[in-house]
Structure 1
Amino acid sequence: MEQTPSRQEASDAVQDHGWRYVLGALQTSVPVGTLAQAISLAGDAVAACGDDADRHLRVDVRPDRAVFTLRSSDRATVTTRDIELARLISATADRSGFLPEPGTGAGAPRSVQTLEIAVDALDIAGIRPFWKAVLGYVDEAGAGGPEDPLVDPVGQGPAVWFQRMDRARPQRNRVHLDVSVPHDEAPRRIDVALAAGGRLVSAARAPAFWVLADPEGNEACVTTWQGRDG
């Protein structure tokens, strides 16, 4: 029977297998040499997952890599079955001579990550229908309330969520990006952003998220799964 592990349990269970827990999903990236290799590896992963592939696995296939994401579509979160499937996919890739890795570290192009767009609003229920219509988005699985996030039905675009304001703030940007990265990637990502001219606005909620800003004050948050329990 599938169970829902804690964030810490999910992260610990897959870390040594080349996966990372990022925003309610397990992710890894497998570098390859050709598109044919990526497609072949994706097929092997689907075979390893068996009947659970359609409910748990998503694959982004590129000529230089295959990016795997595991999450229960029924529960919209990571389950113990996703952890089992991550280990099976890692073993399958290893037998084919490929190394699943989350891309953390200075030598990697970038880590696995998930991007969200946050919209500040005084009346979330009033603006949410507009964003749902203009983006062609749908309600998040298991949600659908007047203030809940919106998601791309084909999984290509970033999710959009809404942050309530207590008063109008005309001198502050009202849309910002949330970049969810592996917990061990966050310090490096913040350091390079600061070195590129950014500034740290707030670390009050770290390690759940750090608020950064560019030289003109436009904000972005670097987020991790840590610091969100309790």
Structure 2
Amino acid sequence: MEQILSRQEASEAVRDHGWRYLLGALQTSVLVGTLAQAISLAADAVAVCGDDADRHLRVDVRPDLTVFTLQSLDHAAVTTRDIELARRISATAGKSGFLPDPGLGTGALRSVQVLEIAIDALSISGIRPFWKAVLGYTDEAGAEGPEDPLVDPIRQGPAIWFQQMDRARPQRNRIHIDISVPHDEAPRRIEAALAAGGRLVSASRAPAFWVLADLEGNEACVTTWQGRES
């Protein structure tokens, strides 16, 4: 029976198979040499996933890279089925001579990651309908409340989530980007951002997230699955 896994369980279950857990999903990438190889690799993954492919697997195919993402669309979470599918995909890629790799210092352009946009609001229920309409977004599975996140129905754009403000802050940027990275990639990503002129605003909630800012105060959070309450 398919069961939802905790963050710790999901992370540990795929770590040795070339995948990383990224806040509700599993992800890996495979370097390839041609678009034909990428498509063939994607087809093999779909085949080994069988009937589960449509409800669990997403594939981004490029001439030099194939990115696999696993998540149960019915639960908007990682389940025991996703773990099994990740292991199957790693095995079938390995048989073809390809190495599933989350891209941590191995020659890949960057590690796997998930982007989200956070919007601060005094009235989340008041602004959420606007963002849902203007982006053409929809409710995430099981999250249909007036303050819940929004997602791209075809999973191309980043998710939108809303952060409750307790008072107006007109001089502060009220939209920021969350970059969810593998937990073992976060220190390297933060170091690179600081070396590029950024500054650390807060690490009080690390390793769940570090708040960084550019020279003009525009903020971004580097986040991981670790250090979260649920």
The TM tier, using the shorter chain, reads over 0.9
Cross-structure match for 1:122 = 122
1:39-96 deviations in Å (ceiling 9; x for gaps):
0000000000011111110000000111000000111100011001000000000000
The Cα shift of 1:105 comes to 1.9
Matched to 1:194, the amino acid is: L
Between the aligned partners of 1:107 and 1:39, the Cα distance in structure 2 is 21
User: For structure 1, which runs of at least 5 residues remain unmatched after alignment?
Assistant: none
Q: C-alpha offsets along residues 149-179 of structure 1, whole Å, 9 cap, x if unaligned?
A: 0110111000001001000001110100000
Corresponding position of 2:201: 201
CA distance in 2 between counterparts of 1:187 and 1:147 reads 32
Q: Distance in 2 between matches of 1:115 and 1:85?
A: 23
In the TM superposition, residue 229 of structure 1 has moved relative to its aligned partner by 3.4
Please give the residue correspondences for 1:12-161 in structure 2 after superposition, counting only pairs within 5 Å: 12-105=12-105, 107-161=107-161
Q: Distance in 1 between matches of 2:132 and 2:113?
A: 23
Structure 2 residues not aligned, in runs of 5+: none
In the alignment, the residues of structure 2 paired with residue 220 and residue 20 of structure 1 have an alpha-carbon distance, to the nearest angstrom, of: 21
> Per-residue deviation at 1:106?
6.8
Q: Does 1:186 align with 2:193?
A: no
Aligned equivalents of 2:6, 2:123: Cα separation in 1? 33
Paired letter, 2:147? E
What secondary structure, in the 3-state scheme, does the structure 2 residue paired with 1:215 have? coil
Per the alignment, residue 218 of structure 1 pairs with 218
Partner of 2:90, secondary structure, is helix
With the length of structure 2 as denominator, give the TM-score of the two structures: 0.98
SS of structure 2 residue aligned to 1:63: coil
Supply the distance in 1 between the matched residues of 2:7 and 2:148 (Cα, whole angstroms). Answer: 21
Partner Cα separation in structure 2 for residue 166 and residue 229 of structure 1: 21
Q: d(CA) in 1 for partners of 2:156 and 2:191?
A: 28
Cα distance in structure 2, aligned partners of 1:20 and 1:206: 18
Identity percentage of aligned residues: 83
Q: Could you tell me how far apart the structure 2 residues matched to 1:85 and 1:140 are?
A: 22
One-letter code aligned to 2:169: R
**Distance (Å, rounded) in 1 between the aligned partners of 2:136 and 2:50:** 31
What letter is aligned with 1:8? Q
